[in-house]
Amino acid sequence: MIIRQGIDSKALLVTLIRNLPRLLLLAVAGAVLGSGLHLVLVLYQSGTAMFVAETEYYVDFADGRLEAKDYYNDFTWNDVIATDLILGRMMEELGASYDRAEVKQMITADILSDVRYLTITVKGRDEGEVAKVSAAFEHAIMVFADSKDEFDAIDKIEDNDIVREQPKWFAKRAALLGAAIFAGTGVFFVLLAFLAGDRFYTKTDVMKFLGLTVEGMLYRSGNQQSGRQERRLVDGILNLLKAHDKIYLLDASDGQDAALFVKRLAALNAGINCDALLPCEQYSTDENAVLLVVVPFGIVYREKITDEINNAVTHGGTIAGAVLTECDKRWSDMYYGRERA
């Protein structure tokens, strides 16, 4: 792949503008997909929702044991809870039907700025189990406080009801993220296609990359005999036919692009003898073949048509020039200016 050198920034901008409807559709598709995937995730989370019990305890440290306040933070509390001093007592109360590792996973200790306030969160899939584990912890931590000299007491000061954890909704953000990803991907591929340099958008592109003069342009739709580019094309072909009895049309699509070009040209009713424009496969039998290269707008074509041109020249053909066809009328209006296109 040969990267386009000397980027035509105006052509790039026009190409992006002409692709805006597709990019918007991609953004909408991305938003729908993003919000849809988020909805699936929320529905899954709803089916596997957790029950949460949150209890707050007040830790009353003994007089003269201020150093204990520095030791008992949320990290050490989680370590202490996992020991036999608390978790072991809890398991004795809960019984053999409870797994120690699972019970440990259900409990989380948190301390904010004041180490005297300990928040215990018990989370599980079964509401009854959450209630039993929370009650067992309350009994175990109070026994623990009584057994330690650094505490006067640990008292429960707030006990919130067990609630079902609600899934978090991020539908708007998911939609925006999906839209951004899809639209960004679309922009990337538009830029990649343009910068690759294997598509022709302007007559300058044809002259720059193929080294051929361009007789003119025809549009995919909206061709007019009085149009500036159409008149140039007609004049160029008439001049070629004055100098040569016949012109062979060379393309890289087995004659399809050439046939479509002749169809568009004939529709202009500009007095051109289209019977003198012959299919390219016949030129090999003509020692003095004169060829006109047909280049379609905006599709991958550079390497293919270059190969066809080299082959024609190798077999003695003379390249008289090129035409740019199937152009996007709106693209050209934006690039050249409506009054000039």
126 and 150 together in one domain: yes
What predicted TM-score, i.e. pTM, was given to this entire model?
Answer: 0.61
112 and 228 together in one domain: no
Q: Is the pLDDT of residue 339 over 80?
A: no
pLDDT of amino acid 288: 76
Residue-number span of the structural domain to which 187 is assigned: 1-48+166-197
- Would residue 106 count as lying in a domain? yes
Q: What is the mean pLDDT of residues 124-133?
A: 89
Q: Report H helices in 19-126.
A: 20-47, 67-71, 74-81, 89-94, 100-106
Q: What is the mean pLDDT of residues 125-142?
A: 90
Where residue 42 falls among pLDDT bands split at 50, 70, 90?
A: confident
174 and 218 together in one domain: no
- Would residue 17 count as lying in a domain? yes
pLDDT of amino acid 46: 67
Q: Which residue has the higher pLDDT, 75 or 60?
A: 60
pLDDT of amino acid 194: 87
Where residue 1 falls among pLDDT bands split at 50, 70, 90?
A: very low
263 and 323 together in one domain: yes
127 and 173 together in one domain: no
- If we measure between CA atoms, which residue out of 294, 292, 255, 299 comes closest to residue 276? 292
pLDDT of amino acid 337: 76
CB-neighbour burial class of residue 64 (10 A; exposed 0-12, middle 13-18, buried 19+): exposed
Q: Which residue has the higher pLDDT, 108 or 50?
A: 108
Strand order in the sheet with 318-327: 214-219, 318-327, 290-296, 247-250, 277-279
16 and 54 together in one domain: no
The model's pLDDT over 268-290, given as tens digits with 9 standing for 90+, comes to: 888 888 888 988 776 666 667 89
The DSSP annotation for 200-254 comes to --SHHHHHHHH---EEEEEESS---TT-HHHHHHHHHHHHHHHH-S-EEEE-SST
19 and 60 together in one domain: no
- Would residue 315 count as lying in a domain? yes
Q: What is the mean pLDDT of residues 306-314?
A: 89
Please report, for the domain that includes residue 295, its CATH number: 3.40.50.300
Least confident of 171-175, 298-302, 334-338: 334-338
Q: Is the pLDDT of residue 4 over 60?
A: no
Give backbone dihedrals phi and psi of 111, rounded to 5 degrees, phi first: -130, 135
pLDDT of amino acid 240: 92
Q: Is the pLDDT of residue 166 over 90?
A: no
Query: Which residues make beta-bridge pairs with 111?
Result: 118
27 and 105 together in one domain: no
In sequence order, the 6+-apart residues with CB closer than 8 A to the CB of 258 are 249, 250, 251, 277, 279, 280, 294
- Would residue 341 count as lying in a domain? no
What's the whole-number average pLDDT of the chain?
86
Nearest-angstrom CA–CA distance, 133 and 258: 81
Mark which of 142, 164, 186 sits at the end of a domain. Answer: 164
Number of domains in the chain: 3
Q: How far is the CA of 90 from the CAs of 85, 192, 221, in angstroms?
A: 9, 63, 81
Q: Is the pLDDT of residue 43 over 80?
A: no
208 and 315 together in one domain: yes
